[in-house]
Structures are given as C-alpha cells and as structure tokens.
Chain A
Amino acid sequence: MMVTINSALKATVCVACVFATPAANAQAPALTDAAGSYRITSPSSIQFSIGQVGGGGGIAGNFAKFSGGFRIDGANIERSSVEFTLYPESVRARERRIEDFLRSSAVFDAANFQTVTFRSTSVRQTGPDTATVEGALTARGKTRKERFAVTLTDWDRRSISFTIRGSIRRSPYGMDVGTPIYSNVVQFDMKITGRRR
C-alpha cells in the first residue's frame, strides 16, 4: 500500500514518542495529538482469504458492512482499546453462490448470528509503528481470544490509519466446513481508518 512516507513517519514518531524522551523530537506531533477516540470510517476495508489444497485461488472476500471505534490512550498506549462489529450478511465474494454459502448455516449462520465482534483486552507495542492487539472475538456465539498485528500506516490531525492482520483458525467457531480442501486458517487483512469523534 502506498502511504505517504511523510505522514507515516510523523505518525511513527508520534507513537514512538511515548517511549522516547519528549525532547528528542520536539518538532513531531506529540502522542497527545493522536490520543482520542476514533470512529471507523471509509475508506476502511476488511478482507479475508482462505487457501486451498494444491494452490490456486482459494476463497477471498470482504465485508461491506462493519462498524467500530478505537481509543488511543495519550498517557499509555498499552491502555488503548479497539472494538469492532462486522455483519456477515454483507459478505462479498467472487460469486453469489460463495456468498450464499458463507452466509448459510455452514459458515456464519447469519440468520441466527447477525454479527461478528471483536473487543480488545490488551495492546502491546512491538515496534515504533507496530503493535499487537489481543482480544475477544465472537462469532457464531463462540468467543475466543485472538491476536492481530497492527501497523500504523497514516496519520493526520483528524484521522489515523492502520493495517490489521491476523490468522484465525475457524474450526473452534464451528466453521470448519470444507477442510481440508480449504485451509482451516483464515487470513484477515484489514485497512482501518479512524476519524476523530
């Protein structure tokens, strides 16, 4: 993804300055500038893909409808939090039959479970512009601890963007249909932009 180096750098510096001495980057925006509550807005996207045996395309798609927000703690980045909700009914894939299958009782069972939710329980900074977010993912009525890797990609005074990646095993959620033809592991690739509330 093409991120303007400049803004990414600025954002990087901003997060980095939690640990750096404030004097080191007197010019850079302070964390307190990034701190605040954000609402997830466009141009965000939540994409997923599942590999298939013998290589080939596998299953890929995205969710058209989701919502959520996050809060960046100005004093301690590790006290930040994120929550999001996605609506499996809005799943998009390369053809209708695949979408219907994903919505059906075989996978998301969207008729009985309208949402998939994630609520973070901990945020750990792993680098100048990276963090690991751990939290509770609930799908099909089952809640499990999952982990996502977050990378800061863009930042300005009104909005902030991340990529969020994670590999989720689907069998614990009762979604193991199609294994082992299709991998048990779903790769999530989300590009999330938050706008200040």
Chain B
Amino acid sequence: MLRNSETGFGLVTIVLHWTIALLIFALVLSGFVMQRVEIDPAPQFTLYQWHKSFGFTALGLALLRATWWLVEHNPSPLPSLCPLERRASRVTHDTLTVLAIAVPLAGWAVASTSTLDIPSFYFNVMVIPHLPLAKSEASEDFWTSVHALLAYVTLALAAIHAAAALYHHFMRRDAVLTRMLGSGAPSSGMGVRGAQKRNDTVVGRK
C-alpha cells in the first residue's frame, strides 16, 4: 500500500509526486509574479517570504523523493511502452528528480548571496541559515539567473511530461496516468477497457 509494487506506485511515491508537482507549479507562478509583475512592494515582500518557505518545503520533499527513489524499487514500465518511450520517460523522470532539488538549491543560493541579507524565516517559525556563500551583487545576479533558468526549464519539462501523461491517458488509453493516481494498477497495458472504466471513476473522485 505505502510501497511500490512490481506493477504500481505505492502511496508514498504518489503523494510525494503530486505534492511536489503542485508545489513546483505554485512556486513558478509565485516566482514569476513577484519578479515580473508590477505589484505593490508590501505584498511583494510577503510573497517572497512565502516563496522561500514553500520552496524549502519543496526541497525537503524532493530530497525525500530522491532518497525514496534510490532505496525503493520502481515498478517496471508498462508493457505498452516501446523502448524509445521507456528511455525518454526514464530520462525525463531522472532529470525532473534532479531539477526538483537543483531549483530550490539555487533559490537558496540567491537568498544566501543577496546583499540584502534577508533571513529565511521558515513559515515564521524557524530561521534557516544562509548557505556559506560570499554575498555580492555579482553572485546574487548569477544565482538569480541560474535559479530562473532552471525553474523555467523545469516548468517546460514538466509540461512535456504532463502532456505525455495526458496523451497516454486519452489517446493511448493505457494506465500510465492512472497508476500515478493510485488506481489498483492492472498488471499489463492490455485489457485496457475494463481497467479504464474502473480508473475513470477514481479520476472522477479526485
């Protein structure tokens, strides 16, 4: 139930996946708004702080996911996937796993190198120290660019990844999406119709 099986994802993987996905989309949106939209400086300041707190949450969960991914065996790819699709999805998932760690780390580097030296007060509960990096305008600019670049690359890759999942669900009508939604995954991509009906109700309840 909690753990992955040979054919399906367990609750730990599923909850981590969707929580991280949600956080990443929210963080890209908040990052974009606070950086590139004209908003009043007071709410902007607050948004920055929320962005950092949720960003650290994303970092913690992404590290957890990567660890989980290393210690837990992963279900084998659905038999309906051709070798190229397996390789592509494998590379995409590995890259997304790394990016989900690299993006917040780069964000942490921005906060740490900024000459503004604004403490990261995690949800107003606990100060998270800055990384031991020298503060300078040049360093802050550098990490800002890295953080932004990685964040938007992550968004693009996640969009492709999500589009692929939707393609599998609606066009190929296989179990790629549903097994990440926690259906009792069918052991093969065959017999899709029966499984599909059951899975649709699962999706409908979400």
Contact = CB atoms under 8 A, between A and B. Distances in A.
Interface stretch (A12-20, A84-92, A177-185): A177-185
Nearest to B42: A106
Contacts of A180: 121, 124
A133 to B, nearest CB: 31
B127 A178 contact: no
Q: Is the interface of A mostly helix, strand, loop or mixed?
A: loop
Contact of B119 (A54, A95, A105, A177): A54
Contact of B118 (A95, A104, A177, A181): A181
A105 B42 contact: yes
Contacts of A95: 115-116
A105 B40 contact: yes
A117 interface: no
Nearest to B118: A181
Given A53-B127, A54-B127, A181-B121, A101 B115 contact: no
Given A54-B127, A97-B116, A181-B49, A104 B41 contact: yes
Nearest to B43: A106
Nearest to B127: A54
Interface residues of A, number: 16
Interface string B99-141: 0000000000000000111110100100100000000000000
A151 to B, nearest CB: 32
Contact of A56 (B45, B117, B124): B117
Contact of A181 (B40, B41, B42, B119): B119
Nearest to A57: B117
A95 B137 CA distance: 11
B185 to A, nearest CB: 46
A177 to B, nearest CB: 5
Given A56-B119, A106-B44, 14 more contacts: A53-B119, A54-B121, A54-B127, A56-B117, A101-B41, A104-B41, A105-B42, A106-B41, A177-B41, A177-B42, A177-B46, A181-B49, A181-B119, A181-B121
Interface of B: 40-42, 44-46, 49, 115-119, 121, 124, 127
- Those 6 A-B pairs whose CB atoms lie nearest each other, nearest first: A106-B42, A106-B41, A54-B127, A104-B41, A177-B42, A181-B121
